[in-house]
Amino acid sequence: MKHQFIKAAAASPDLRVADPAYNAKQIISVIDGQAEKGTELLVFPELSLSGYTCGDLFLQKALLDGCLSALEDVAAATKGKKMLVYVGLPVACADKIYNCAAAVSDGKVLSFTPKTYLPNYGEFYEQRHFASGKGFVGTVRLKNGTAVISANNIVCDEEHGVSVACEICEDIWTAAPPSIGHCRRGATVIVNLSASNELVGKRERRHGILSSHSRKNICAYLYCSSGVGESTSDMVFAGNNIIYENGSCLAETKPFGQGVCEAEIDVGYLISSRMRTTSFMTSCEPAEPAYSYISASFVTENGLTLRKVDPTPFVPHDEGERMERAELILNMQAHALAQRFKATHAETAVLGVSGGLDSTLALLVILRAFDLLQMPRDKVVAVTMPGFGTSLKTKNNANALMQALGVNVKTVNISQTVLRHFKDIGHDPELADTVYENAQARYRTMVLMDLANETHGLVIGTGDLSELALGWCTYNGDHMSMYAVNCSVPKTLVKYLVLSEAERLGGRAEVVLKSVLSTEISPELLPTDSEGNIAQKTEDLIGPYELTDFYLYHMLRRGDPPAKLLYLAEIAFAGKYDRATLKKWLVNFYRRFFSQQFKRNSVPDGVKVGPVSLSPRADWRMPSDASAALWLEEAEKL
C-alpha cells in the first residue's frame, strides 16, 4: 500500500454445493490470481467453502470436518503472500454450529467471526441450523493450533495503519449492525460475506444501504455475495459484489457478471475524515464489548493500478450531472444573496464588472437574486473601471455583457485619479511594482463602496475560492466587499457555472458570455502589450488553476500530505505536466496558502456551496502566523 491505499477485491467463484475440497481449489485459484495483481485484501462469499444452500447437510459432521480441512488448505495457499483473505464456512464449537467468516493470512487461520443476526423469514431459515454469535467467545481447534471465534475481531496491520473487521450478510440489514461497533473500535475497512439472493429491486436496495452505512461510519465496505454455483431450488444468486468508500461506490460486479470486483481504498482519507468529524468521535466514546485485535502483515508498497484520480475534483464529468450541479449552486448563491438583501433592506447591488469570469458570475448571481426578490434590473449598478492594464477585449466584454443583461451601467476611468495618488505618496508611475498594482485595486474598491453608500446598496464581492487559497487579491482592495457570492466556488468550476447560465439565457447574452469564457485570466493591473492585449497572465504567475484546485481539494477535503498529493497529481495529470512542474507549483501552493492566511482571516460573509470552504468563521481556522516549514520541507524534498 503506497500512501495509505489498499488494494481490495471481492470474488464469487463458481462453487459446488457441499463440496468443500472443490470449493477450496476454486478459491485458491482466485487467491493465486489476485496475488499476482497485488491484491492485499480478498473476500469470498458467505459459507463459500460449503455453499450457502446446503440445508440440513450443515448438521452433518462430514461436511463440518470437510470445511475445516478445506479451510486449512486455503490458509496454506496464502503462505508467503502479502494478503488477508476472508472465506465463509460452518464451524462447530461448544455443541453449536456457527455461520462464520475465517480470516487467513500468511499460512495461518487468524480468527473466526460468527454471524450475529440469523434470518428466519421468507426464503431464509438459518436458525434451523446455526446459533447467533452475539456475545459468544470460544476457540476452534485446527491441525496447527487454535483460533478464537468471536464477533468482535479486528485484524490490524499496525505498521500501515489498516484495521479490518467483518460482519455477515443479514448483519448489515439490521437496525444495529455489528460493523457500527467495529468502526467505533477502530476498524476502517468492513468486509461482508453475504449470500444475498437476487430479486427485482434488490440491487438498488444494496446500494442504498451500503452507501449510507459506509458514509455514516466513515469506512470502506466490501460486500461479497454468493454466485451462480448455489442451488436454485428456491432462489438464484448473482454474485453482485460491491465496494464502497465513505458513501461513494468504487467498484461493482453487476448481477450475473461473474467477475472479481476490485478497487483501491484510500485508508488515509478515511482516517483523516474521522479525525475532523467530531460527531463520529463523539459516537466512539462508549465502548461496551471487549475486542480482540489480531496482528497481521498483509499490506504492500505497491502503487495504484486501478483507481482513477480525477484532475478536476470540483467538476463533475457527466454533462447532465454538471449542468444539474451548476443549477443547484447558482440557486444557492442567489437565495443566499436574496436573504442578505432582505436582512439589510439594501436597495441596490453594486458590482465592479471587469469582463472576466469572476465578476461575470457574480453579476449572473445578482440577477437571479433580483428575480427572486422581484427587484428591477436598473437597481443593479454595474461599474466598469478601466485602468492601466484594461485590454480592449475585456472592456468590450464588460460593456456588451451589461447591455445584454439590461443593468444600470456606470463607467469610472481610474487612471488619472491613481496617477494623482502616486504623486501624493511619492511613487514613480514608471515603476510597475506592487504599489502600482494595488493602488488600482484599492481605488476601484473605494469607488464601489462609495457608490453603494450613494445608492443605499451592497457591494457584491467577486473573488473565488482559488484566489482565496492563494491570497491572489489585494488586501482591502478586491479582497473586500459587503457580501461575497463566489467565495466557495473554485476557479475550475466558475466557467461551468457561467456556461450553464449562457445556455439558459441564450441570445445575445450567450454570445457575450462565451466570449468571456474564452478570455485569458488576468487581474489587468499591468499595462497591456503594444497591441492592446493582456500582458499580465495570472496562471504564469501563480500556477495553473487546475493544479491549485487539485491541491486545495486533496489537502483540505481529503487531508493528503505533500508526498501523497504529488503522487496523485502525477497520476491525474500524466502527459500534461511533468513531475518538476507539479512539484514547483505544489511548493508554491503551500508557500502562498500559509503566508496569505491573514487575508482569509478578515474576509466578508459569503455562502458555502461545496465541500471545501475557507471561511474563518466556520470551515478553516488557522492563525495568520502559522509556519509552513513542515509542509515545505516535505514538498521540497520530493
Q: How confident is the model over 496-505, as pLDDT tens digits?
A: 999 999 999 9
More confident residue, 259 or 215: 215
| β-sheet bridge partners, residue 225 | 194
pLDDT at position 287 is 55
- Grid cell at residue 24: 477450496
Structural domain boundaries in the chain: 5-294, 319-636
pLDDT at position 520 is 83
pLDDT at position 536 is 78
- Domains 5-294 and 319-636 belong to one CATH topology: no
Question: What integer best gives the mean pLDDT of the chain?
Answer: 94
pLDDT at position 63 is 97
| β-sheet bridge partners, residue 242 | 223, 252
- Grid cell at residue 259: 467477475
Known catalytic membership, residue 79:
no
- Grid cell at residue 164: 479490518
Q: How far apart are CA 82 and CA 539, in angstroms?
A: 45
How is residue 520 annotated by DSSP?
A: P
Q: How far apart are CA 433 and CA 427, in angstroms?
A: 10
Q: How far apart are CA 197 and CA 203, in angstroms?
A: 10
- Grid cell at residue 33: 490470481
- Residues sharing a CB contact under 8 Å with residue 557, sequence separation 6 or more, in sequence order: 313, 611, 612
Between the alpha carbon of residue 478 and those of residues 36, 356, 379, 449, 612, the distances in Å are 56, 14, 22, 11, 21
Q: Which of 46, 72, 262, 501 is catalytic?
A: 46
Nearest to 42 by CA among 8, 88, 76, 69: 8
Q: How far apart are CA 550 and CA 311, in angstroms?
A: 6
- Residues sharing a CB contact under 8 Å with residue 2, sequence separation 6 or more, in sequence order: 301, 302, 303, 304, 567
Cβ contact 461:473 at 8 Å: no
Q: How far apart are CA 282 and CA 475, in angstroms?
A: 39
- Rounded to an integer, the average pLDDT of 231-256 is 93
Q: Which single residue is written with the C-alpha cell 484566489? A: 467
Alpha helices in 456-575 (DSSP H): 465-470, 491-505, 507-517, 538-542, 545-552, 562-572
Q: Which of 108, 115, 393, 495 is catalytic?
A: 115
Q: Which of 156, 166, 169, 261 is catalytic?
A: 169
Residue 252 confidence (pLDDT) above 70: yes
Known catalytic membership, residue 379:
no
Residue 534 confidence (pLDDT) above 90: no
| β-sheet bridge partners, residue 34 | none
List, for residues 417-462, the tens digit of each pLDDT value: 999 999 999 999 999 999 999 999 999 999 999 999 999 999 999 9
pLDDT at position 527 is 82
- Rounded to an integer, the average pLDDT of 129-154 is 93
Q: How far apart are CA 45 and CA 196, in angstroms?
A: 9
Cβ count near 572 (within 10 Å) = 20
List, for residues 258-308, the tens digit of each pLDDT value: 789 999 999 999 999 999 998 887 666 555 678 889 999 999 988 999 999
- Rounded to an integer, the average pLDDT of 128-140 is 94
Share of the chain above pLDDT 70, in %: 98
> ∠560-566-572 over CA atoms, to 5°?
100
Q: How far apart are CA 299 and CA 285, in angstroms?
A: 29
Known catalytic membership, residue 169:
yes
| β-sheet bridge partners, residue 112 | 102, 149
pLDDT at position 285 is 53
Report pTM: 0.92
Place domain 319-636 in its CATH homologous superfamily.
Answer: HUPs (3.40.50.620)
Specify whether domain 5-294 bears CATH 3.60.110.10. yes
H helix and E strand count, the chain: 21, 22
